[in-house]
Every structure is written in C-alpha cells, then in structure tokens.
A and B are shown apart, each in its own frame.
Chain A
Amino acid sequence: MSANAQSSADLASLDYRLTARAVAEGVYVVTGANADFAPANGCNIINTGFIVSDAGVLVINSGPSRRYGQQLRALIARTTQQPVVQLLHLNHHPDYFLGNQAFADVPRLATPLTRAGMARDAKSYEDNLYRLCGEWMKGTEAVLPSADAAPGVLRIGQREFELIELQGHTASDLVLIDRTSGVAFAGGLVFAQRVPTTPHASIAPWLASLSQLQAMPSSRVQRWVPSHGDIDFTGAIAQTQAYLQWLQGWLGDAARRGLEINEVLRLPVPAEQRALAAFATEYVRNVVHLYPRYEQAVLQGR
C-alpha cells in the first residue's frame, strides 16, 4: 500500500494540513490522500503542485474546494516570495478546479475541451462534492478558467515548460513537463497504487496516451507526478497500463459470456487489482461506466 493512504486533514478545524514537498529545485508537490473522496480527507485525494520561477509561480490544479484553494495559496506564500502568476488545469474533473476561488485574480488556463467540460459539469460537481464532504465544501462555487491553454512551449521567466495534450482519461488530458528539472505532471492519465477513475474514460485512446508517456526518454522526463496516488511509486505508468488492459479484457470476456452488470460486480477480482487503493468504490464505477460499451458490441455482433 502507499505511504499516503491516510489523510492528514483535520476535521475539527477543517484544515487540510497541506505541505509542500520539493521534488526538484523550485518544484513542489502537495499530496492528497490515496483514497476515495471522504469527509475524513476533506475530499482531498489529489496531488496538486506549484513551480517557482524568477517571474512568479505556476500552480498546477487548485484542489476540491474553496478552502483547499485558500490553504494552497497560503502554503505557496509561506514557501516562496514569488507571486502566483498562473494556474493550469490538467483536466476538467472537480478537484482540478473547485479551489479556483482563491485564484480568481490570476489567469487560469485549460484546453478548450477541458473548459467546455468544466462549464458543462461544474454545477453537478459542486452538488456531488457537497453531498460527499459537506462542511469542507462550504462556500465553494466553481470559478471557470479564464483563457485557453495551448499545447507547446510555455515560458514563465527563465523557466520553460512543455504542454502535451493527450486523451483517454477524459476528452483532454494535459501533461506538463518542466524542462528545467525534468519533472512531469502527468495529470489524470497516470494513477499510482490506485484504481484509475473512469467517468469520462475511453480505454483505447488512454492506452495509446500511456504508450506515448512510456516512450519518453529519461533525458526528457526524470520524474512523473501522478494526480492521484503515491508520488514515490515509480512504476505508475506501467501499472496504469496493466490495470486498463486487465479491465478491457475482463469486461470484454464478461460481455461475451452474457453476464449482467450485477454479476460482473460480484466476480472474484484478482488480488493484484484488489490491492490498489480505492478498489471497493472505484471498481464499481469502472464497471458501471464502461461495461455497457462491451455489452453493446457483443449484442450487435461486433
């Protein structure tokens, strides 16, 4: 199991107790619990980050709530004297942008597809996270991105970044590579010691995207930071590939046998997959999201 399965969040004071961990010169990761959304972790299950340049700070994702955004901004201010100059969203899922109220004064960038997804789903994300984490969410209202992020090179001061737009986990999955340090923020494409989430997933393009990440030489990327899971686990790309390949085979096989969703949910799952964090809840979602596609292919003789 991962080192950070337990949350450090304090329910009494609604303090996420965020800490900035330097993974390279000027590159910080703020880890969340390797678990499912729950009041005990304040719905903080995301690894956000920030990178300090001589011309200000680039923030990567803003967390699940207004409170998280505020505490992240305070943490950045405690860590560096540089001001926050830009916020980047790697995909449209709720914990990538519901902390935006604390960053209303800076440019907030996301790809056009991610912006469209946020505009479409923000309201239901708010409702759902209020339902799951109640008081932690108090005062949270979605503030959408303010500008388009474009794939290619992004410069802030002396620091140069590369943005790569892939897909599969969602319709638009952004990967940020810090060229100075070789640290890459893999966003939702990579899960470390945790079951991947699939509400907007398409497995074939996701696997193709992972192959692209896997093929990147270590001269380009020295360290991958996944949005969810244990950031010290080094086999996360291969593990995510293995899980998705397993899921694809598992669901396809069940559909060819004519199983109902409830029967698939009750099949004994191999220990390797069961050992991943959030298995109990996330596997159910995987099946509910994806099984109908396999079922349809079998019924229509494809």
Chain B
Amino acid sequence: MHQRALAAALYLLATLGRHPADTSPGLCGLGAAQALRANASAAKALVMHPPLPPHSKARRHWLSLALAAGAAPSWSAAHFEGDPLESSAWPGLKREHFGRAKVVFDDRVKVLGPGFAEDPMNVPISVLVQGIAAVQQMVVLVDRNPIRKVLEYTPNAALPNIGFRFKLEQTSPVRAAVRTADGVWHVGGTRVESSGGGCTASGETRRDGSWSQTLGQASAKVFPMSSGPGETGSRLRLKVMHPMDTGLVAGVPAFYVKALSLRDGTGAELARLSIFEPVSENPVFSFDFATPPRGPLSIVGNDNNGNRIRLQLP
C-alpha cells in the first residue's frame, strides 16, 4: 500500500469514531476507499440522530449563557487557541505551518465558500484580502483534510485574492493565512460542511481514462473586473487540464500540477502559485489585478512528473 494511502486510511479510521455521519461518502464520493465504505455502512446502523453540528443553536445558546453569567473567557476559546471556528485541529495546524511566527485572526482575510460542499471533489473557494498592505505570501489550509495544504500564493504584482476549487474529505474549516512584511500571519476562514469522500475518490477523467488526451492543456481569458467603484482592474481566469491525483486512491500515485507562474510581456513574474494534491481535477484559478498588467501575458508551469505547462495569451 502506498505510504500516503495508508496514512489516509489511518486518519479516516481515527476520525470515524468522532463523527460517524460526517464520513459517509456523498453523491460524489463514488470511488471511496473500501475501508471507508465498510465503516460508513456499519455506522449507518448506529446513527439514530445526526450528531449536533459544532455551531448548532443549542451550543450557541450554552455559550451565550456562559458569557451572560459573566464567566471567564469561555472554555472553547482557550481550548481552540482563540480559533473563531473552534477547530480542535487548529493548534496543531498552527504549529505545523507557522512554527513560532506570530499568528492573528483577521476579518480582513475573507474566505468565501459554499456552506455545504454539494460536490466534495470541487469545492469553490474565493479568498479576498482587503485593507492589508504588502501581502507577501498566502497559504490555504484545510484542517480536516488528509493533506492539509492546498496552495501557496505569491501575489507579487497581483491583488492578494485567489479563486480555485479543491477536494474536501469531510466537514472542515478552510483557512487562508497571509504573511505581511513584519512576518505576522493574518488568518481568515470559513467552514464548509461535507458528506465526505473528496480526497479518496478519483476524478472523472481518471475514471474514464480520458485525462491522457488533454494533459497539460491550458486555456485562459482576461476579464475587466473592478475591485471597487471607479476602479478598472482585471481578472485572469486560467484552466489547466490535469487529473490532479491525490495519491490517496489505491493504485494511483500522486500526480498533480505543482507550480504555475504568470508573467507579463517583459517576462517579469506577476504572480506565482505552488499547488498541492487537494486542488481539484482540471483546476480553474482566478487572479485579480488592480490595474490590467502589460501583455502579452504568459503562463508557465509544471507538474510533479516534470510535464510542462505553457500558455501564451494574445
């Protein structure tokens, strides 16, 4: 068994005890691992009532009572190291990705997602950062995915916004953290509910084998897009054909686009993306600019097997 697949299976088994209903594959989790299937079926018999969602009214009510009674900072806030999404995975995630750097929760980092992952293989996320100057880097992390890092973005001449879709394994916070020049990470996030199965199933083109005919083909278009009244910015949308295999499906090694660099007419790098396994099959990205960059634009990149991606825009 692939080492990573084994890790994922152990991870899934570990989570089953906590939220049996959350891990059952949904409409799109068609190829989910056998282990998960067997456990989900067994869990069915046990589920009499769905477990209380973490943000249920009952829980909110309990919290507000505690606060109204003048209680000390709630148990939750302390337990989750201030995480507004109250994720028990956050303290570990924070240490793993930010080490000793200063990390603050910041409402100016907005992560837009659907409340529920209708298609766990393609969960759309838009990150919008407004009012934070000189963002040097962005990282997108998903607490409860077997592979937590989705992408790293270096916006250079672009706005610190990014649009993409990713594969979600189960209900989880989705976070964007941006690092400013002083080394501080500013973190925003949203919670996406899911019936599960996004990372342990193959994409459509892997299932039908058609991926090899379109591998690495890219298409893109620039749209006028204003980021505010009176502003005339632009957006580049890019699609790259790639199976984006996570390596968590038995017998299919990880195979994914690793890097994309967006360049202007002089060859200067406008923005750079490091991409990881959870990004969706045939990924689509949106890059925003406050003023349209000088063309002709080009995109170069590669996947983890050394296949090159090249696109020259008119």
Asked if B50 CB lies within 8 Å of chain A CBs, one says: yes
Are A261 and B26 CB-contacts (below 8 A) given A134-B47, A299-B237? no
A125 touches B27 (CB 8 A): yes
Query: Complex: how many Å from CA A262 to CA B126?
Result: 7
Asked if A10 CB lies within 8 Å of chain B CBs, one says: no
Asked if B303 CB lies within 8 Å of chain A CBs, one says: no
Stretch at the interface among A56-64, A229-237, A245-253, A285-293: A285-293
The number of inter-chain residue pairs (CB within 8 angstroms) is 100
Which of A131, A134, A288 counts the most chain B CB atoms within 10 A?
Answer: A131
B122 touches A288 (CB 8 A): yes
B24 touches A298 (CB 8 A): no
Residue in B27, B114, B124, B238 whose CB lies within 8 Å of A124? B27
**Chain A residues whose C-beta falls within 8 Å of the C-beta of B286 in the assembled complex:** 258, 260
Residue in A126, A265, A299 whose CB lies within 8 Å of B220? A299
Query: Complex: how many Å from CA A261 to CA B220?
Result: 16
**Chain B residues whose C-beta falls within 8 Å of the C-beta of A214 in the assembled complex:** none
Query: Complex: how many Å from CA A130 to CA B46?
Result: 11
Asked if A284 CB lies within 8 Å of chain B CBs, one says: yes
Query: Complex: how many Å from CA A299 to CA B222?
Result: 9
29 examples of A-B residue contacts, CB within 8 angstroms: A121-B27, A123-B37, A127-B25, A127-B29, A127-B41, A128-B27, A128-B195, A130-B24, A134-B21, A134-B48, A134-B49, A134-B50, A135-B48, A258-B237, A260-B124, A261-B165, A262-B113, A262-B114, A263-B126, A266-B112, A289-B119, A295-B237, A296-B239, A298-B221, A299-B237, A299-B239, A299-B284, A300-B239, A301-B221
Residue of A nearest to B29 (CB): A124
Query: Complex: how many Å from CA A119 to CA B220?
Result: 38
A262 touches B125 (CB 8 A): yes
**Chain B residues whose C-beta falls within 8 Å of the C-beta of A127 in the assembled complex:** 24-26, 29, 40-41, 44, 195
B134-182 contacts to A, CB under 8 A, are: 163, 165
A261 touches B124 (CB 8 A): yes
Query: Complex: how many Å from CA A298 to CA B219?
Result: 10
Query: Complex: how many Å from CA A289 to CA B121?
Result: 12
Asked if B223 CB lies within 8 Å of chain A CBs, one says: yes
Query: Complex: how many Å from CA A134 to CA B220?
Result: 44
B26 touches A131 (CB 8 A): yes
Residue in A137, A285, A288, A299 whose CB lies within 8 Å of B124? A288
Asked if B116 CB lies within 8 Å of chain A CBs, one says: yes
Are A289 and B27 CB-contacts (below 8 A) given A261-B124, A262-B113? no
Asked if B272 CB lies within 8 Å of chain A CBs, one says: no
A74-103 contacts to B, CB under 8 A, are: none
Asked if A155 CB lies within 8 Å of chain B CBs, one says: no
Query: Complex: how many Å from CA A130 to CA B225?
Result: 43
Distance of B207 from chain A, by nearest CB (Å): 11
Query: Complex: how many Å from CA A205 to CA B37?
Result: 35
Asked if B118 CB lies within 8 Å of chain A CBs, one says: yes
Residue of A nearest to B234 (CB): A258
Bitwise interface map of A from 265 to 302 toward B, beta carbon under 8 Å scored 1, else 0: 11000000000000001001100110010011011110
B221 touches A262 (CB 8 A): no
B125 touches A131 (CB 8 A): no
Query: Complex: how many Å from CA A262 to CA B112?
Result: 6
7 further contact pairs, Cβ within 8 A, besides A127-B24, A127-B29, A292-B122: A131-B24, A135-B49, A261-B114, A284-B116, A289-B118, A299-B219, A299-B284
